[in-house]
Structure 1
């Protein structure tokens, strides 16, 4: 065989060995590439998952903060509404009382103010219930006391107006009797007896006290009270008017004292409520 033939055979042998080797190397390279791609994919998934969790945590934190702020706003509105309702009821009661006692309003205007007053009183009770739902505990207790003392103040001042209102009606009827020339003048007689009862109470009884208690203090007061009751029987009066007329003469000081005590208690509880409300709102702002 010549050299050229030997060279051809050698070249064929080398080629036969090189093909499987190339295949093996190719497989190794493919596996390495797949493994690298798989690791890159895992790393990408981990990064994506971390990014997603971070975004989710941020959304949750923002939602929690938003909810806290929303709840704080609801509580603040409830607290403010309650205090404003109590202030409005108290101011309306005092305005009605002072206006009527000073005779700057008519009976009809008094009735309009009374409707406004009891509407304000109802608002205090309603807002107190809302506070109890939004902030139980000390705040709810303070709110209940505000509701109670507002009711006491309103009732006391309104009752003072009822007493003066009853007397004013009797005096108006007495004036009409005088204009008409009524010889009997039962309302005029009642006015006189009421004045005598008040004089007897001022002279013989300490300030305050229920009519039936005051009447037992001295024979003079008892006699004056009996005279008032006889005069009342001669005119047309409702039971509430009879009671109001007697108490106006015997216990005006006591009713006025009750109003002052109720106002002092109300102011004290309002200050306590305001302090507790600020603490609650400041605490929720830092959560």
Structure 2
């Protein structure tokens, strides 16, 4: 074999070795490219996730802030409007019905907004909102009771002042109710009308005898009037007016009930601010 043939064989051998080497280098380059692409993809995915988490955090904080603000506004409106009951003319039936309608609407709204806060959380804020709502509802009940008692008593006084056949029976009822109130005060009885009523029916409540006796006299006096003289709501209000239980707001001693509301409101606001100030998503765990 001449030198030219040997050169050809050598070239063929080098080429045979170079082909696998080129393939190997290409595979390494492909793997490196895939790793780079995967790293880029993961970085992009992490960025999307972080952006989504941040967007969710902002949305959640905004939703909670709106829920807290609406709840506070409605609670304040319900509270202030219930106070207007004290200044209504007890003979103005139209104004009475209109204000009670307003209170009913705000009551429904407050309950709905409380439910939203319980859904949105966090539990600490929901707990404070629940307590604040309880205090507001209790205050509204007391204000309504105060107004109903004034309204029923005004009806009785109008009947006493009228010149009609029921005048004497109305005077007797007025005197017996005043005697019942004196018996409650002199006996230092702090129980409710309901307790006395239960005691009168089955005797399983601890009620001073003077209170029980005066209660029975007043009920008999009430029964002497025609059945359509007062409504059942008036009937209850005439008697609850004689008692000084926790549900009644005697002025000026009743100011501490308003203080309870303000304390509950302050605790709710403080809890809400803490929740909204968190930089991360606030979970309910």
Go from structure 1 to structure 2 and tell me whether the alpha carbon gap of 1:232 and 1:123 turns closer, same or farther (over 3 Å shift).
same
Alignment of structure 1 residues 98-247 onto 2, 5 Å: 98-100=86-88, 103=89, 106-135=92-121, 137-171=123-157, 177-178=162-163, 182=164, 184=165, 186-187=166-167, 190=170, 194=174, 205=185, 216=210, 222=214, 226=217, 230=221, 233-235=224-226, 236-247=229-240
1:280 aligns with 2:280: no
Per-residue deviation, 1:142? 1.8
Indicate if the aligned counterparts of 1:82 and 1:128 stay in contact, CA closer than 8 A: yes
Residue 201 (structure 2) aligns with = none
Of 121-130 and 243-252, more deviation after overlay is shown by 243-252
In terms of Rg, which structure is larger? 1
Of 117-126 and 205-214, more deviation after overlay is shown by 205-214
Go from structure 1 to structure 2 and tell me whether the alpha carbon gap of 1:111 and 1:138 turns closer, same or farther (over 3 Å shift).
same
Residue 55 (structure 2) aligns with = 66
Of 200-209 and 256-265, more deviation after overlay is shown by 200-209
1:77 aligns with 2:66: yes
Of 113-122 and 208-217, more deviation after overlay is shown by 208-217
Cα distance between partner residues in 2 of 1:279 and 1:30: 69
Query: How many corresponding residue pairs?
Result: 264
Per-residue deviation, 1:170? 4.0
Indicate if the aligned counterparts of 1:79 and 1:131 stay in contact, CA closer than 8 A: yes
Q: Once the two structures are superposed, what CA deviation does each residue of 1:43-94 show, in whole Å capped at 9, x if it has no partner?
A: 1111111101111111111122222222222322332232222212111211
Cα distance between partner residues in 2 of 1:42 and 1:270: 63
Cα distance between partner residues in 1 of 2:184 and 2:13: 129
TM-score, structure 2 normalization: 0.74
Q: Once the two structures are superposed, what CA deviation does each residue of 1:204-259 show, in whole Å capped at 9, x if it has no partner?
A: 94799567779937x9xx59x94796366224222331231244466599822485
Greater per-residue helix proportion: 1
Of 257-266 and 243-252, more deviation after overlay is shown by 243-252
Gaps of 5+ in 2: 197-206
Cα distance between partner residues in 2 of 1:238 and 1:189: 16
Q: Secondary structure at 2:225's aligned position in 1?
A: coil
CA RMSD between the two structures: 3.8
Indicate if the aligned counterparts of 1:92 and 1:117 stay in contact, CA closer than 8 A: yes
Residue 202 (structure 2) aligns with = none
Per-residue deviation, 1:158? 0.6
Indicate if the aligned counterparts of 1:69 and 1:285 stay in contact, CA closer than 8 A: no
Residue 7 (structure 1) aligns with = none
Go from structure 1 to structure 2 and tell me whether the alpha carbon gap of 1:169 and 1:88 turns closer, same or farther (over 3 Å shift).
same
Q: Secondary structure at 2:230's aligned position in 1?
A: coil
Gaps of 5+ in 1: 1-11
Per-residue deviation, 1:125? 2.7
